[in-house]
Structure 1
């Protein structure tokens, strides 16, 4: 599994998503900040935080809770 959390600097929703990931004991993931990348800003700007499973080419948009995240990961 190749997980990436797209987020912004100073984003309270992103902080909440990080807490959910910790609570759900999600596998290791990379954090990518979209603030200085125009292509990522265009794709994810209004949607962050977004968790992407690059291996399966799918995304989980916020809001999600620990149960929804665990179901998505399975």
Structure 2
């Protein structure tokens, strides 16, 4: 079963839409599936990521890859955590 790569986002986040094409190429490579997490309505996530989205992570909100990133940067971040 694939592990989730979390994309912390919210409705209307144009940068989040720009981030998705950078994310898609690494999903299969690392056996991941993309799961979007809307930070709206979650006070802790809003405090942590409100001004930083898009942000991706593997479940630990303290260990994330924040925008701006490209596929190469994201691949390097994932290699350090998934291999």
TM, length-normalised to structure 2: 0.75
After TM superposition, what 4+ stretches of structure 1 lie above 3 angstroms from structure 2?
A: none
Q: How many residues align?
A: 72
Write out aligned runs for 1:1-74 (5 A): 1-22=3-24, 24-26=25-27, 27-54=32-59, 58-74=63-79
Q: How far is 1:2 from its partner?
A: 4.1
RMSD of Structure 2 on Structure 1 (CA): 1.7
- Higher normalized contact order (CA 8 Å, seq sep 6+, divided by chain length): 1
Unmatched tracts of structure 2, length 5 or more: none
In terms of fraction of residues, the more helix-rich structure is 2
TM, length-normalised to structure 1: 0.83
Unmatched tracts of structure 1, length 5 or more: none
